[in-house]
Amino acid sequence: MTGYDGEHEGAEWVDEAAGPVVRPYALTGGRTGAAGERLDLAAQVVATRARTNLAGLQPEHLRILELCQRPWSIAELAVYVDVPLAVAKVLVGDLVERGDVTVRPPVQPAHAPDRHLLQAVLDGIRAL
């Protein structure tokens, strides 16, 4: 059962299966986009250094910093932090502004494979 338990002071919205329900806009302070640069979902995010000043960070920010000791895409972070993609972009944007993480654009192939080569591979697979 999901709902507000108005009988108890300090009660909160809860979903018995999922725990406390927090709306995405509450995590981002109502912001819908990252400030500054446009973040690609495939961009790689990596922590810049060990931070000692964690004041003002939400648990989701801290989880992102913990994960980003190695590169992760924004899409992967959204999954592991359990937030919508738009929220992950805003949270990563916050960390970029603070200098806690660096965002690297996704790696682009130097050039697309030749269409004739791809057709030959497809023909070979069909021949099997």
Q: Count other C-beta atoms under 10 Å from residue 11's C-beta.
A: 11
How big is the chain, counted in residues? 128
5 pLDDT more than 50: no
φ, ψ dihedrals at 3, nearest 5°? 165, -175
15 pLDDT more than 90: no
Tokens for 22?
A: 């927090």
**Cα distance between residue 96 and residue 123, in whole Å:** 47
pLDDT tens for each residue of 54-73: 888 888 899 999 999 999 99
Torsion-angle region of 62 (φ positive above 0: left; ψ -120 to 50: alpha; else: beta)? alpha
Domains defined for the chain, CATH in brackets: 34-127 (1.10.10.10)
φ, ψ dihedrals at 13, nearest 5°? -65, 130
50 pLDDT more than 70: no
User: Do 93 and 34 form a contact (C-beta atoms < 8 A)?
Assistant: yes
**Residue labelled with tokens 């004041």:** 55
Select the more confidently predicted residue: 112 or 29: 112
48 pLDDT more than 80: yes
Of the chain, the percentage scoring pLDDT greater than 90 comes to 29
107 pLDDT more than 90: no
Please state which of the ranges 1-5, 28-32, 80-84, 105-109 shows the lowest mean pLDDT: 1-5
